[in-house]
A and B are shown apart, each in its own frame.
Chain A
Amino acid sequence: MAGSPEAAEEAEAPGREPPAGGAARSGKRAAPSGPGALQPTKLSRAELYKPPTSEELSQLKETEDLFHSSLLRLQIEELLKEVTLKETKKKKIDTFLHEINSLLSTIPETSETELTDQAWLPKGVKVPFLQVPFSVKGKFRFVPPAELKVVGSYLLGTCIKPEINVDVAVTMPREIFQDKDNLNQRYHRKRALYLAHIAQHFSKEKLFGSVKFAYMNSNHLKPILLLRPQGKDEKMVTVRIHACPAPGLFKPSRFYPNKNNVRTAWFMEQNTPKEGATEPPTPHYNNSILCDTVLLSHLHFLSSAATDFPGMKDGLALLKVWLNQRQLSKGLGLFSGFSVSMLVAYLLMTCKIIKMMSGYQVLRSTLQFLATTDLSVTGISLAKDMDSSLPVLDDFHQAFEVVFVDPSGLVNLCADMTASKYHQVQFEAKRSMEILDDRMVDGFQALLMTAKPMLRAFDHVFHLKHVSKLQGTCKKMQLLNELMDWGGNYMAVALPFVVSLLACGLARRALLVPHFLPQIPEWPIDAEPPKHKDVGPLMFGLLFDPEFAASTLEKGPQADHPEALDFRTFWGEKSELRRFQDGSICEAVVWEADTICQKRLIPEQIVRHLLKLHADIPESSICYTGALLESVIRTGQEASGTGEEAMVSVICSYDDLSRKLWNLKELPLTVTAVQGVHPALRYTDVFPPIPMKPIYSSHTRMRTKNLLLPSEEKPCPAYIAPLKIICHMEGSGQWPQDKEAIKRIKAAFHLQLAELLQQQHQLVCRPAVTHTDVYKDGYVFRLQVAYHREPLILKEVVTPEGMLKYQDTEESRQLELETLHLPYLTSSLHGLQQQHPVFGSTCRLAKRWVSAQLLSDSISEECVDLLVAFLFLHPAPFTPPSSPQVGFLRFLDLLATFDWKNNPLIVNLNTGLTDSDCTEIKNKFVAARSRLPVMFIATPKDQWSSMWTQERPSAQILQRLLVLASESLRTLEEQLMDPLHSQDVKMVFRPPLDFYDVLIHLNPNQIPRHLESVDRPLKSFSRGVVKNSTAVKILFPVVDYDPVQCYLQELRDAFSDLALFFYDKHGGEVIAVLWKPLSFQPQPFKVSNVKGRMVTTLNNELVCVPNVEAILEDFEILGEGLVKSVEARTEKWTI
C-alpha cells in the first residue's frame, strides 16, 4: 500500500459510497431514528486514520494509565461537572459572605449578666441549647467577633451539591470568657448565647431569606447558625456560622481524653461533691471544645495538602458522592466530608497517594485504605512530631471507639463514630473495591450513581419507635458517666451498647448490624431546640449471612467450662443444657420455627429477646419489618408456611417419577432425559400445587373413561395445575422423518407411557394426543414426549436448486422453546435456588405483584424469573438479597429505573458469558436496536434473540409496568419507613381500576383460584377436593380447567382488535377491559375489517364503527354463568 492514508482514502471513497456519498452520510447522521436512543457510531475513514497529534496520543495514554477506560473518564468528568459549584454562583456567594462580614461588626455589645439570667434576650429568640441542669456559674456579655474566617470545603473547592454549605468561623473575643469556662458546659452555653444574639440581630435583616439553628452533625452540644440568602437564591447556599474561642484561650492539656471537665455533683444537681470520689473522664465533652479551637489550623493543613494536587479536589468530590449515596455522610457519628478530606491528607502524608494521581485513583486508593484498615483497632494520627506530653493513641482507644487523630495530636476526628458504623464504611469500601475490580460490572453506575437506601440494602430492618425508652437502657446498663460526658444525650450514650449487644447476639447470622439515625432537622430561632427524644425513630439494619441466618440452634460452650456462665447470662432463661449427638453436653439456645418462613424470622426473635432482657426495651416499641409482604404468597388457611415446603415435596415427587420413567420396561425406545418445565420445578411458582384428591359427589362422573367432569350445578372445582415434564426419547433410525408421522408416533408414545405406568407402577393416567397426564402423590404431572430432531425437521426447506436449508418457522420456534430452552432455563434457575435460598420466594413475590397489577398475561413468566435472577447474579452495588422483601424492593427498583431503550439486560446464568461476550452483546444491541424487542434480556444460551420477551411485553405495557413499579416502590418504602403508623403493605398489591373502560365482574363460585386473591375472601366455596397425597385408585380429577381462562381466551379471540383484557389470574374477581382508541375511529368499509363492527353513515359516508352495545352484551353471552355483571364506565367514553 503506497502513499499517505489520505490518498488511500480518496481512492477508496467512490467505490464504497453511493454517488451522493458525502451528502447522504451527513444527512443520515443528522436524523436519528428515535429520540433518546443510541445510534451505532460511524466515523469516516479519513477521521479514523488521520495521523494522531501528540496531544491526542498523550490523552489516550493518560486515559489508559490513570483511568479504567475512556468511558469511565468521560463519565467521571460529567459527574463532576454536575456536582461542583459553578463560577457564577461562587461570585454570588462571595458577595453574600462580604455582606455578612460587614453586618457582624455592627452588632452592638451588651452588658455583662449572669449566664443563667437570660432576660436580656428578646422574646423572638430562644437559646439553642438544652440547658439541663439549668443553674451554672459564670457571666456572659456579647462583644462583636474578633475575626471572621471562612473555613472548610468552600475554600478548598470541594464542596458539592446537593447541599452547598459554607462554614464560617466567628472568633469570640477573649473578654467574654472567664477562668474555668472549660467546666460544666459553661463554654458551650456561652457559645450558644453568642449565636443566639447574632441570630436575633440577623433575623431583622432583609438580606437573609431564613435564619435558623441546627445542631452540627446532630451533636446537641454544638448548635450552629444557618443563614440563607433572600429570594430565589435561598436554595443555593447555606452559610453555617460556627462560634469558636479566641486562640490560646484554653490550655490543651486540660482536654486530654482522660481528663474530667464535667463535675458529677453539678450534673446531678447535688450541693456538695462527694468526698474522695474520683471524677470520670469526659472525652467527648473535651473533644467538642477542642474541635472549635482547631478549625483554622485544619483549614491551613488541608489547603497545603491540596496545592499542586488537582486530583484531590476531584477525588474528594467523588468520595463525597460515594458516601452520600450510601447515606454515610450526614448525622451523628458519621463519616463527614471533612473527615474524608483529612483521610486523603493522611494518605498523602503517608505516601499512599501522590500528587500526580487522578481523582479516580484518589477514590480507589482511599477505598482501598478504608477496606483494609480497621480504625477501631489500629487508630491513625496526623500528628507529625510526637510530643511526649501529648496523649498517645492508646489513650484515645480507651476513650473512643474509632480513632483518627488530627495534626495537633489532640482532637479525635471520629470521636462520635461507633465501631459498627465504621465497620459499615469498611464493608462498603470492600464491596466497592470488588466491584471496581470486576470487569463485568459498570463500576461507575454501581459506585457513584446508585443510591443505597437502607431498605433496599439490608435484608431485615427494624425500628425503635420510641427513643425515650433508651433512658431505661442507660439506667439498666449504669451509664451515668457517659451520660455526663454526652451532656445527657441518652440516645448517643446507649447506642454503642445496644449495637454491640445485637452484634454479639447475631454474630454468626448477620454480617453487619448498622444503625441509622434520621438527621435532626433545623429549627427556627424562636422555637425551643429539639429534645433528645425528638430525633425520630432509630433504625437498625441486618445484613445476613445466608448460610447461618436461619439456623434454629445457638450452640454455646460445654456446661462445665467457665464461659458457660457468660453464655447463660447473655441469653437468660432461653439458654438450656442439651446433649448433642457427639455426646457433649452444652449450653444451647433453640429457637422455635417450623417452616422456612418462620426460620427466616429467627433474627427477629433474637432481637426482641435480647433488647428486652438487657436493654429494657419492650417488644411494643420495636417495629420489625422482615416478612410483612410474605402474606400475599401464603396459601390456605393455615398461615404458617409460605409454600417452600410444598415446593420441595413437589420436586421429590417429580424426582421419583423421573426415576420410574427412566426404568420403565417394555418401552420400544428408552427415555434419555426427563426435564421439568413447570415453574414449580424451579421453585418460582407463585402458589405451588398442593396434593389433592377429588370428592366424587361434587363432580359428574364419566365411568367409561374413569374420570370426573366439572358439574354445572356445583361451584367450579379447585384448579389443579398440570406440572409439565418433557420426556426425551432416544434417537433412532426408527423415527420417521416426516412431521405428520412424528406427531402420530408421539401420540402412540403417550398412549404407551400411560399404559406402562399404569401396569408397572399403578399410576392413574389419562393420555391425550399431545401429552399424558399422570396422577401421582396427589399431583398431576403432564408428560410430553420430545424427539430431538423434530425441530430440525420442522425447519427443513428445500431451495429450488435442491439445497436443504434450515429456516425458523413459528412452529419450530415454539417447539424449541418448549423442549430445549425452557428445560434449560428451569434447571439453571433450580441451580440458582440452591445457591440463594430466597430466590424462589422473591420471584414469587414479584410474579404475584405483576399479576395483582393485572399484567400477568402481558409479560411472560420466564421474563420475570430472569429479571429476579439478575438481582441475585448481578447485585452490585448491593449484596445478593437474603430475604424476599429486600429482593422484591430491588425488583421494583430494577423495573422502574433500568434503561431498556439503550441497554440490554445481561443475565449471566451459570457464568456462561465472558467479558468480551458482554461487550459484543452490547455492541450488537446498539446496532440492531430498532429491530429488537422493547425489553431485551440476554442469557448465555440466548444471546441474540431475547426469546422470552419477543412477543410480550409491548412498549405500552412496559411503560405502564414502569409507572406502576415506581409508584409501588415509593408507597411501599414510605410505609416501611414509617413505623408509627399502621403498615398496610398489601396496598401495592391492589390494582387501580379507574384507568379501565369496562369492568366485567365475575361470579366467585366459578373462579377456581378464588382463595389465592390478595385479600382473602370471607366466604369460601367447597371446591370438591380434599388434601391427600396417598390416594391410588381414583377416578381422574379435573385438570387444568379454569373457566376464567377459557372465557378470556374467547374474549381475546373475538375482540382482540378492539380491546385489551386484563385479569389477575390468582383469584381476581374482575376482568378489566381497555378499548383500543385507534380502532374506535370510524373506518371505511373493508371486507377484512368488519369483525364486531357495524356500518353506519357519517357525513353521508359509509363507515364502520364498533357495535359497542352488542359487544357489551356479547361479554355477558360468552361468559354465561361466569359473568355477574358488566360495568361500562361510560363517564370516560360514549357509546
Chain B
Amino acid sequence: MAAAKERVVGAAPAGYTALAVKFGERQRSPHYLLVKEHQVREGAGTTHPSRRTLFVLNVPPYCSPDSLSRLFSRCGDVQSVDICEKPGPGEKKEKLKSKFFNRKTVTGFHVAYVVFRKPSGVQAAKALSQEGPLLISTESHPVKTGISKWIASYAASVVDQEELKAEVDAYMQDYDKKIAEEEAKAAKEEGVPDEEGWVKVTRKGRKPGLPRTEAANLRVLEKEKQKRARKELLNFYAWQHRETKREHIAQLRKKFEEDKQRIALMRAQRKFRPY
C-alpha cells in the first residue's frame, strides 16, 4: 500500500505540534498526538477557556482522561480533561448525571480538550515534542487492556439493586411532581380566554377538539375522499365507457413494454440459456 518512502517523524500541519506517544516501554512504533492551543472564532465557552486549553487530536483508544491528565501534569496543573468523539463546541454538561442511564462512553480514536490552570501549561505541552515519547501505561500507573479490562467492565456492569432503585424512585418523584404542576397549570387555564380573547381547546375539556396529529388529519381527508367517490357515477357517460376501454389497452401495452424490457435485459445477461 502507498506509504511515503522517507518518513519525517513527527511532522505536523501548520499550527499543530506532534507528540509521540507509546502505550508502554515495549511498544516500538509510537502514535502521534497532534496538539495546539484551543481557538474558536466565537467567544470561547467557560468549559474550554481560550489560552488555557490544549486541543489534542488522535488520542489512542487506550488513553483515558486520567492518563492524559497524568501525562500533561508535568507541564502544569491540569484543571480538567474532556474527551469526545470529534471536535465540536464544548458540550453543555448534563445537569443530571445518572450512574445508570444514558451513559455514553467514547471509544476508538478520539479528541481531547486539556484545560490547564495557567496558560503556561499549554506552551509547556507544545514543547514536549522535544523529549522522548510519552508513556501511557507505566509501572506506577498501569492501564488495563485486554482480558483484565473486560473482566473489570463485566464486574462493573453488575448493578447495585438498592442504588438503582433509589435513583429511579427519586427521578420518578421529580417527574410526577413536574407532571402534576403542568396539569395544575393547564387546569387553571382551561376555558379562560387570554389577553386577545382566545380560548385554548384541549382534549381535557368538556368539548374535546380533534387531536392535532398527522394521523387524524389523514383520516379526515380519507373520509372526505370516500364520500366523494360514493357520489360519483362511473358508467354514466359514453366517454367514460370509451375511456375505460382505452385505459385497458394502455395498461396492456404498458405491461407488454415492461415485459419486453425485462426480456431484453435477461437476454443481455444470457438468462435464456437453459444449461
Contacts and interface: CB of A to CB of B under 8 A. Distances in A.
Given A43-B257, A803-B217, A804-B212, A60 B3 contact: no
A265 B80 CA distance: 111
A1091 B172 contact: no
A806 B215 contact: yes
B239 to A, nearest CB: 6
Contacts of A1105: 2-4
Contacts of A1082: 2, 4
16 contacts: A36-B265, A71-B263, A740-B101, A744-B171, A747-B100, A803-B213, A804-B214, A1043-B147, A1043-B150, A1054-B107, A1085-B13, A1087-B57, A1092-B31, A1096-B7, A1103-B4, A1118-B61
Nearest to B105: A1053
Given A803-B213, A1047-B146, A1098-B4, 20 more contacts: A5-B246, A41-B257, A60-B249, A60-B252, A74-B263, A321-B274, A736-B172, A741-B175, A745-B172, A769-B100, A804-B211, A806-B213, A1043-B146, A1050-B61, A1094-B11, A1096-B8, A1107-B31, A1110-B27, A1117-B23, A1134-B3
A321 B212 CA distance: 63
Contacts of B109: 1054, 1090-1092
Contacts of B4: 1082, 1096-1098, 1103, 1105
A1134 B1 contact: yes
B179 interface: yes
A867 interface: no
Interface stretch (A46-54, A380-388, A948-956, A961-969): A46-54
Interface string B235-274: 0000100010010011011111111111101111101111
A1125 interface: no
Nearest to B32: A1094
B1 A1133 contact: yes
Given A70-B259, A162-B275, A325-B274, A1097 B107 contact: no
A803 B257 CA distance: 44
Interface stretch (B44-52, B66-74, B157-165, B184-192): B157-165
Contact of A1041 (B154, B160, B175, B215): B154
B1 A1118 contact: no
A48 B74 CA distance: 81
B29 A71 contact: no
A741 B253 CA distance: 58
A736 B177 CA distance: 12
Interface string A797-813: 00000111110000000
A1095 interface: yes
Interface residues of A, number: 106
A289 interface: no
Interface stretch (A76-84, A832-840, A974-982): A76-84
Given A803-B213, A1095-B12, A1107-B29, A769 B250 contact: no
B8 to A, nearest CB: 5
Contact of B1 (A38, A1077, A1110): A1077
B63 to A, nearest CB: 11
B60 interface: yes
A1110 B100 contact: no
A516 interface: no
A769 B145 CA distance: 25
A609 B179 CA distance: 79
A1119 interface: yes
What does DSSP make chain A's interface, helix, strand, loop or mixed? Answer: mixed
Nearest to B155: A709
Given A38-B265, A709-B151, A747-B100, A1093 B58 contact: yes
Nearest to B101: A743
B117 interface: no
A448 B32 contact: no
B172 A1053 contact: no
A1107 B20 CA distance: 12
B130 to A, nearest CB: 18
Interface in B220-246: 239, 243, 246
A805 B2 CA distance: 50
Contact of A324 (B148, B154, B250, B275): B275
A903 B23 CA distance: 51
B158 A705 contact: yes
Interface of A: 1, 5, 36, 38-39, 41, 43, 47-49, 52, 60, 69-71, 74-75, 78-79, 81-83, 162, 321, 324-325, 448-449, 451, 702, 705, 707, 709-712, 716, 736, 738, 740-741, 743-745, 747-748, 751, 754, 766-769, 802-806, 899, 902, 1006, 1038, 1041, 1043, 1046-1047, 1050, 1053-1056, 1075, 1077, 1080-1082, 1085, 1087-1088, 1090-1098, 1102-1103, 1105, 1107-1110, 1113-1114, 1117-1123, 1133-1135
Contact of A736 (B31, B179, B246, B274): B179
B119 interface: no
A49 B246 contact: yes
Interface string B14-28: 001010000110011
B195 to A, nearest CB: 19
Contact of B2 (A321, A1080, A1094): A1080
A263 B86 CA distance: 97
B108 interface: yes
A1038 B154 CA distance: 9
Interface in B71-111: 86-87, 100-101, 107-109
A1059 B145 CA distance: 21
Contacts of B31: 1092, 1094, 1107, 1110, 1114
Contacts of B169: 748
Contacts of A69: 259
B65 interface: no
Contacts of A36: 265, 268-269
Nearest to A1114: B60
B168 A747 contact: yes
Given A710-B154, A1120-B145, A47 B253 contact: yes
A1095 B18 contact: yes
A548 B109 CA distance: 60
A136 to B, nearest CB: 43
A1121 B146 contact: yes
A734 to B, nearest CB: 11
Nearest to A1119: B146
Contacts of B28: 1109, 1113
Nearest to B7: A1096
Nearest to A1077: B1
B112 interface: no
Nearest to A1055: B108
Nearest to B174: A741
A1118 B31 CA distance: 14
Given A78-B266, A1075-B1, A1119-B146, A1087 B239 contact: no
Contact of B243 (A1, A451, A754): A1
Given A1081-B2, A1105-B2, A70 B161 contact: no
B254 A1121 contact: no
Q: Which 8 A-B residue pairings sit nearest by Cβ, starting from the closest? A: A1120-B146, A1121-B147, A1091-B109, A1109-B29, A1053-B107, A1053-B108, A804-B213, A1080-B1
A330 to B, nearest CB: 12
A24 B87 CA distance: 45
Nearest to A1118: B145
A748 B168 contact: yes
A805 B150 CA distance: 42
B32 A82 contact: no
A863 B118 CA distance: 57
Nearest to B167: A744
A1006 B214 CA distance: 54
Nearest to A451: B275
- Tell me which of B23, B61, B62, B153 has the highest count of chain A C-beta atoms within 10 A of its own C-beta: B61
A451 B274 CA distance: 8
A52 B214 contact: no
Nearest to B153: A1046
B34 interface: yes
